[in-house]
A and B are shown apart, each in its own frame.
Chain A
Amino acid sequence: MTRLPILTTALAIGLATTAHAQTTLTILMIEGLDKGAMEAVAAQYMQDRADVKVEIQSLPWNQFFQVSEMRLKSGDAAVDLIYTDAPVVAAYAANGYIQPFDAAVADEAKAKLVAPSVTAGTYDGKLYSLPMNSSAQVLYYNVDLLKAAGVTPPNGLTKGSVANPDAIATLASTDRWTFEQIAEAAKAVSGSEGGKAKPWGFAFEQFAELYQLQPLGGSLGSDLISADAMTADSYLNGEAWTKAATWWSDLFNSWNVSPRSLGFGEAAQMFTNGQLAMFVGGTWNVAAVAQSSINFGIAPHPKFADGKAATPTGSWYLSVTKASPDAAAATDFAHYAALSDQGTDIWFDKLNQLPTTNRLLDKINADNSFDAFPASVMRLSAWESRNTAVARPVTVAFSQLQDAFRTAFTDIANGVAVDEALATAVDSYDQAAKRLNRK
């Protein structure tokens, strides 16, 4: 009778294997530096939890949204965690692609993170996504080009400068250039040549994008859409946005100081080549610009003279998919990556993007290593994120809003009348909002 012991042993081995079965979590995200940072976070996480394996699937930026939309829509159980751009959180939640975190995680997030980043991850009163980092935009200016055009450059952070927290607060609250000053300086640099023989005066890094241009209307005190997200009427086509869009139109059609349409990274490239005197862009350009031979400075994001400071914010989030068969494990990883000290430290060290945890923001403020340029730019960004940041609106029709906005501002740059372009954008958004909000 040797069969019974063999059977028992096999059963025991089987049970043991089951007990130590590894849970595999798959994250779908964009390629590039973010993926490297996520790999570092995952490696540390796996060291502490031998029963979990984290795999990362990545896609190029230009395919990411379309492919992830299709995979989420089809209920693909092979994706446990999805890298989520802030503004699509609402649409993903409304479409049932992602699941909310429980109250404990939501309360912890509220306690540990800056408020706008929690708001952007919340839909219908529930926290659906945890922020990995935020973002901030600053004004890059070429000191030599401005001086050569007879313009006194703005006060800002420059090579060799040191800025303690008080100096940053003073700079950002009392020494901010206005969009009117930007226009005058740009005209002085470009003249009537419109960048042909002379350099261009000014550009925004992300041409006609909502993320980039929301502060134009925001500075004049207007939202893009109503608080209930049902309409853009009397917001996007209201007085404030009409004034903001007219200023944008003049950049191209009256003053001829800004290039029409710029591809990704082109503004920074033109700036480092000396072909562009000023641009508003993300802090992620600092390293590349600092390596160039350009004598440059970094000033706070501009505002309108009769308006308040408003700056872009928000970045990538991590969400647990509804189809995930290991939702508990996925939630645990998201919590580790976005809320734990260890996870957020690794992410910040690897990616050097503006954090969303109060702890890291406090550290940036207090730590002496952020006094010197260009690390001080992170301190300026941290100040902006706590004082002037305006999150993009939360709406299930965000993709449509973003598209309508981009179309309107591209058209305006190409000479279409401001009123007409904004009215068309309002129509497009209102139609979509009505359709997507039907119960």
Chain B
Amino acid sequence: MNRSPIKLLVLTLAPALLGLAVFRAYPIGLALYESLYTTIGGERAFIGLGNYLDLLTDAGFWKSLRVTLWFNLIINPLQVALALALALMFVQKLPGMAVFRLLFLIPIGISLPVAVIIWRIVLLPEGFLNGVLGGVGLGPYRFLTSPDFALYSIIAIATWKGVSYWMIFLVGGLQNIPPEIGEAARLEGASPWQRLWLITLPLLRPTLLFVLVADVTINFLLFAPVFMLTGGGPRGSTNVLMYEAYKSGFVFGDMGRAMAIVVCLVALLLVIVGIQFRLLSSAPPKETP
């Protein structure tokens, strides 16, 4: 029996590869292709890199890019750090942990649009949060309509929704670390802080890498809260690139510009994810015998 493993490999990988081709490669290819076209006088016209050259001098695009980068610079470290802290608490065997676990799993069960609607009610000037703050003599604050608050309100909502989800992955990673290692370190006299920095985090690195990459990707493409709560305003303070692309394509019918923005976004994501891979997936230093 001379069976080639290649055939088996192809056969088993085919569904995944097909999905990747249809749902990932094809849309990216299509976006690239469409970004080279525009409509002039009702006729579709090839303009090469014209849409990209326009973006270079497009103040709206650059402002949106700045908002996207600032948003991600805050939300990604925040979400990963909070998810890690929650995961570390989650695996502790303390009294009352069942309630804690239940509380933090609730956001996962709520769909993003529903969560956004609930948060809108909480954050409105006459909403719950201002009611509570008013009780102690503060506010009212315009959490969704003030340029100083709106982006941070979006960050808070997305974080509330996302943290528990990423926590689940980190809990899985933590439970994969053999408990003997930590136990041995404890017997050697390592403090809890040392055990976290020197044992838990290095061993959690593959999971952390996945969470970081997936979280960054999702947050760069975040759309629903902006669409539902702020419409990119006030003063463009929440106008992330995804929303700018949506408006360009589906509100203004300027599909060429929308696709050029999407391609820039994908390119930016590829660079950032590439850097993350380089920083986090380097092999751990070899032990000297």
Contacts and interface: CB of A to CB of B under 8 A. Distances in A.
A94 B45 CA distance: 14
Contacts of B254: 432, 435-436
A439 B58 CA distance: 19
A14 to B, nearest CB: 38
A69 B39 CA distance: 14
A50 to B, nearest CB: 35
B166 to A, nearest CB: 33
A96 B233 contact: no
Given A95-B39, A410-B234, A427-B60, A66 B251 contact: yes
A415 B148 CA distance: 11
A95 B42 contact: yes
Given A399-B252, A427-B59, A420 B235 contact: yes
Interface string B233-250: 111100000000001001
Interface residues of A, number: 32
Given A94-B42, A421-B235, A424-B235, A414 B142 contact: yes
B52 to A, nearest CB: 12
Contacts of B173: none
Give the one of A73, A397, A435 with max B CB within 10 A: A435
Interface in B214-247: 231-236, 247
Contacts of B232: 407
Interface in B90-110: none
B161 interface: no
B197 to A, nearest CB: 45
B253 A416 contact: no
A431 B251 contact: no
A91 interface: yes
Nearest to A124: B41
A428 B235 contact: no
B146 interface: yes
B54 interface: yes
Interface in A406-439: 407, 410-411, 414-416, 420-421, 424, 427-428, 431-432, 435-436, 438-439
A411 B40 contact: no
A424 B254 CA distance: 20
A435 B235 contact: no
Contact of A91 (B59, B145, B233, B253): B253
Given A431-B58, A431-B60, A435-B54, A411 B235 contact: yes
B253 A399 contact: yes
A411 B43 contact: no
A95 B235 contact: no
Contact of B146 (A96, A261, A414, A438): A414
Nearest to B126: A196
Contact of A435 (B59, B147, B253, B257): B257
Given A407-B236, A414-B146, A415-B146, 10 more contacts: A95-B42, A322-B42, A414-B147, A415-B147, A416-B235, A431-B59, A432-B252, A435-B38, A438-B38, A438-B40
10 contacts: A66-B251, A96-B41, A260-B125, A261-B145, A407-B233, A414-B145, A415-B147, A416-B147, A438-B38, A438-B40
Interface of A: 66, 69, 73, 91, 94-97, 260-261, 322, 397, 399-400, 403, 407, 410-411, 414-416, 420-421, 424, 427-428, 431-432, 435-436, 438-439
Closest 6 CB pairs of A and B: A96-B42, A414-B145, A414-B234, A399-B252, A411-B234, A416-B235
